[in-house]
Amino acid sequence: MRYAGGWMTAADDRILEYLSENETGSPAKMKREGPIRYSRQQINRRCKRLAEEDLVRHLGNGVYIITDDGEAYLDGRLDTENWTYIDDDSEAVEAQDSSNGEASNGGAT
């Protein structure tokens, strides 16, 4: 499960997925080769925003690469609303505490 910030759009996920699979890409190449159904201009705008948020890095000449934070977001390990990493161990502890007779939230996390 991914934890997208309110500032993110569906295009952002597609861009990050493309860069994760292809290592680098430009908005024109993503539009031409990727499964991204947005205009090159929209992809360009979103790449710039993703770079501002450090999920991608601009290498120059319109080429971008995904960062470690971008990969963490795709893996569901980074909440881009609160900019916090999700610790799988702490979630496991919370689930264990609920099974020890404490009030349960119905299985929702």
Q: How far apart are the first and last CA of the chain?
A: 11
Proportion of the chain in helix, strand, coil states, percent, rounded to 5: 50, 15, 40
pLDDT in tens, the chain (109 residues): 999 999 999 999 999 999 999 999 999 999 999 878 899 999 999 999 999 999 999 999 999 999 999 999 999 999 999 999 997 654 432 323 333 444 433 444 3
Q: For the chain, what are the domain ranges?
A: 10-99
Looking at residue 91, its pLDDT comes to 47
Could you give the CA distance from residue 3 to residue 74 in angstroms, rounded to a whole number?
9
Looking at residue 52, its pLDDT comes to 98
Q: Which pTM does this prediction carry?
A: 0.78
**Which CATH number does the domain 10-99 belong to among 1.10.10.10, 3.30.465.10, 3.30.1330.30, 1.20.1260.60?**
1.10.10.10
> Cβ(49)–Cβ(32) under 8 Å?
no
Nearest to 76 by CA among 15, 16, 9: 16
